Structure 1
Amino acid sequence: MPKVISRPAPLTASALLQLMWLASPALPVGGFSYSEGLEAAVESGRIDGEASAGTWLVDQLRLAQARADLAVSAAAHRAWARGDAARIAELNDWVRMTRETMEMRLQTEQMGRSLLEWLRTRDAGAEAPDARIAQLAALRPAPTWPVAFALAVERSGAPLREALLAQAFGWAENMVQAAIKAVPLGQSAGQRMLARLVEAAPEAVDLALACTDGERQAHAPMLAILSARHEAQYSRLFRS
């Protein structure tokens, strides 16, 4: 008997457009208002130009995003697809409990709540409302960003890897814009930084896809220290 090779579902035009929408800075979730410690890194002198900002963000993508938010979104996407409410609650709790500062926790909760409202708006008037949106809303004290994003991309019908690439790109674009404002840098420098992040994104996504529960972690000591300092930073543009 010939071997059957399992291939992922193709990315349809509709699903592609949904991913572009979800990755867009125009998505009303407030991602543009956070720098995730980058502003504090500028204040402390660890970031002083395009090269250091680009290196900081590539490291953050590989060491923090790939092993935490992207990995959670991958696991949550699978859980939403099979209707595993207990697993969703477990992942949501993990995100909250591993946020090392108050502003990091508030960011993931605020963005999660905002995406929930966007999903509610999209689902309003549907002939068959998606009961999973109510499950997302029931997470306490709030749905977190990677868990909410996982539901949004699962509803799009896009393959998981492409969904995580969209998530990584959306994060990268927001962070590059934060660097342009905080360092500050020009638009051309921002595009060069974004090119570095785009090159690094597939490897980060593949790491997230392969990440087991035992390997998933959100421990980034210097990022946590800078985030804690940012909470009391005298002058700042961003909420984290």
Structure 2
Amino acid sequence: MAWLSPAFPIGGFAYSGGLERAVHDGLVKDAAGLIAWLTSLLRQGTLWNDAVLFGEAWRQFEDEAALKEVAELGLALAGSAERHVETLSLGQAFASAASAWPHPVLDRLPRAVPFPVAVGAIAAAHGVAAAQALAAYLHAAVSQSVSTGIRLGVSGQVEGVAILAEIEGLVADIADKASLATLDDLGGAAVQAEIASLRHETQHSRLFRS
């Protein structure tokens, strides 16, 4: 709960993962559109791939070479420059802040570590069950996107809470599936989300870094 709280000093509030561009382009116009966006990311997009990478890091937390490989894979899968900066910045900030809970895993993690790899490995090192850790990670990601949607004006606060209530079953389901997945299960089809992330790089006026 502490690690995935908005108060944890990693700066996640500064990123939208392409959602800002999707709103700008009219792909997400209201609460229903935001639910559809998040559902796509969870089932076929970046959140699914992040969950798979998280699970692999969780399993390999004692193997420094394996952690290096999954970290490199996670960074290579970033579909845009901003997505690369986002996952790398959050991963490094998370590992740094998590040093308040000392553990040798912090020395095994590579310096260039994407966010899901950092959280997965550190959660495993401290004995947090994979499915539970993944549920918390995905819920935090969805909550951050809902907060972004509220700030971008596509939903109100009451609608935002309703979105979280509606999508929590899917979050739990994806967490369970990803905890058993392997790297062979990586892959996505959320093409519009990837394009939005790319287009955000050249957006002139913006609130978020991605």
| Structure 1 runs of 4+ with >4 Å offset | none
Q: Which of 7, 10, 13 is the equivalent residue of 1:32?
A: 13
Between the aligned partners of 1:152 and 1:170, the Cα distance in structure 2 is: 16
Instruction: Provide the aligned length of Structure 1 versus Structure 2.
Output: 210
> What is the SS of the residue equivalent to 1:24?
coil
**Other-structure match for 2:158:** 188
- The 5-angstrom pairing of residues 190-209 of structure 1 reads 190-209=160-179
Between the aligned partners of 1:153 and 1:160, the Cα distance in structure 2 is: 8
Q: Which of 108, 114, 135 is the equivalent residue of 1:135?
A: 108
Between the aligned partners of 1:40 and 1:64, the Cα distance in structure 2 is: 16
What fraction of aligned residue pairs are identical, expressed as a percent?
Answer: 30
Bigger Rg over Cα: 1
Is 2:210 the partner of 1:232?
no
Between the aligned partners of 1:219 and 1:90, the Cα distance in structure 2 is: 24
Is 2:126 the partner of 1:113?
no
> What is the SS of the residue equivalent to 2:90?
helix
> Is contact 2:67-2:108 (8 Å) kept?
no
Give 1:46 shift: 0.9
Between the aligned partners of 1:108 and 1:41, the Cα distance in structure 2 is: 19
**Other-structure match for 2:138:** 168
Is 2:65 the partner of 1:95?
no
Aligned letter for 1:100?
Answer: G
Give 1:131 shift: 2.4
Q: Which of 157, 172, 186 is the equivalent residue of 1:216?
A: 186
Between the aligned partners of 2:55 and 2:140, the Cα distance in structure 1 is: 16
Aligned CA distance change for structure 1 residues 218 and 114 (closer, same or farther; 3 Å)? farther
Between the aligned partners of 1:109 and 1:61, the Cα distance in structure 2 is: 20
Q: Which of 36, 53, 71 is the equivalent residue of 1:55?
A: 36
Between the aligned partners of 1:171 and 1:68, the Cα distance in structure 2 is: 13
How much is the aligned-residue C-alpha RMSD, in angstroms? 1.5
For structure 2, list consecutive stretches of 5 or more residues without a partner in the other structure: none
Between the aligned partners of 2:20 and 2:190, the Cα distance in structure 1 is: 16
Deviations along 1:171-211, one digit per CA (max 9) or x if unpaired, are: 11111100101134211011011112212111111221232
**Other-structure match for 1:44:** 25
